[in-house]
Amino acid sequence: MSDVNAAARVFEHGDHTAKLINEDSSAPSHSPSPPPKPLLIAAPIEEGDYPMLLFLHGYLLCNSFYSQLLLHVASHGFIVVAPQLYSVAGPDSADEIRAAAATVDWLIPGLTQVLPKHVRPNPTKLAVAGHSRGGKVAFALALGHAKTSLHLSALIGVDPVDGMDRGKQTHPPILTYAPRSFDLKGTPVMVIGSGLGGLRKNPLFPPCAPEGVSHGDFFAECCPPAYHLVAREYGHLDVLDDETKGVRGKATYCLCKNGRERKPMREFAAGAMVAFMKAYLEEESRWLRGIREEPGAVPVELSVVTYLESAD
């Protein structure tokens, strides 16, 4: 398969049949060791050993709002674990960071009890990703703000946000505003951004991904290898499911400036995540190369495509 065909392929569902599994820490558990937080898990049903992805939801959002994105990623041969970190949260994200670390520590003793016996997680291949404030938490985890029992092999920020404005970051602040300052000990990073995230939906609400605390600022502090992809005409919440239920779900269409529809942005984000993890968890770099070499294969127009692969 050529790099171009590989690039196009990641934006479609993969060859695996994926299903969703709910594992609730407050309900009778399938595992002798219940998870620290309720989980939504997307996994292939075919027998095999699969890399893992911990996916962290955005501010005041539900993990279920990402079902279509999670299933897309899982269909390419990944086990995706999405904890519900909280129901209500304030400006302090320290508890979320600790909960994310506790979920990582639960994966090996607990995940094998939840999945079908023939579906096996690979503990040596674990990526962490997060959207919005969850992206900040993912960076915090990779930067060692909470210790984990497993090594994080790759980091993905999906339109990450660190507060309302520069100088108004949520605790603990992650951005330092010093270029290439993140000490990630060589962990590869992909930062996915939204072109409309820094714009207001209406005069009553601030931008959902304000300039000064969003994707460009995170990428500026990343050392190579690091990748930055920005979808020009899509908004901060366009990675969510087409239908998000309940009061919170309806609010996702009202608070942030959106693109015309969510599907292209969601497929782009999921495909970019797959290509990145294929490169750094499975040594299949043609998927990632194809995105750079054939932008026409990408389902959105990209305003930024930056591959920082060396210190030169």
DSSP secondary structure letter of residue 27: S
**Are the C-beta atoms of residues 229 and 305 closer than 8 Å to each other?**
yes
For 153, phi then psi, to 5°, come to -90, -15
Q: Is 228 a catalytic residue?
A: no
Residues 256-277 as b or e (16 or more Cβ within 10 Å = b): bbbbeebebbbbbbbbbbbbbb
In the annotation, is 236 catalytic? yes
Of 235, 199, 247, 271, nearest to 13 by C-alpha is 271
DSSP class per residue in 179-212: TT----TT--EEEEEETTTTS-SSTTS--SS-TT
Active-site annotation holder among 13, 75, 236, 241: 236
Strand partners, 248: none
Active site residue 214: no
The residue among 294, 142, 141 whose CA lies nearest residue 226 is 142
Angle formed at CA 134 by CA 178 and CA 73, multiple of 5 degrees: 115
Active-site choice (93, 132, 194, 214): 132
Asked whether 79 and 51 are in contact (CB, 8 A), the reply is: yes
230 near 304, Cβ under 8 Å?
Answer: yes
Contact of 80 with 21, CB cutoff 8 Å: no
* Phi, psi (deg, nearest 5) at residue 184: -100, 5
Indicate which residue of 3, 57, 64, 159 is catalytic.
159
Cα-Cα end-to-end distance for the chain: 30
Q: Within a 10 A sphere around the Cβ of 195, how many other Cβ atoms?
A: 22
- CA–CA separation, 278 and 55 (whole Å): 16
Catalytic residue positions? 132, 159, 236
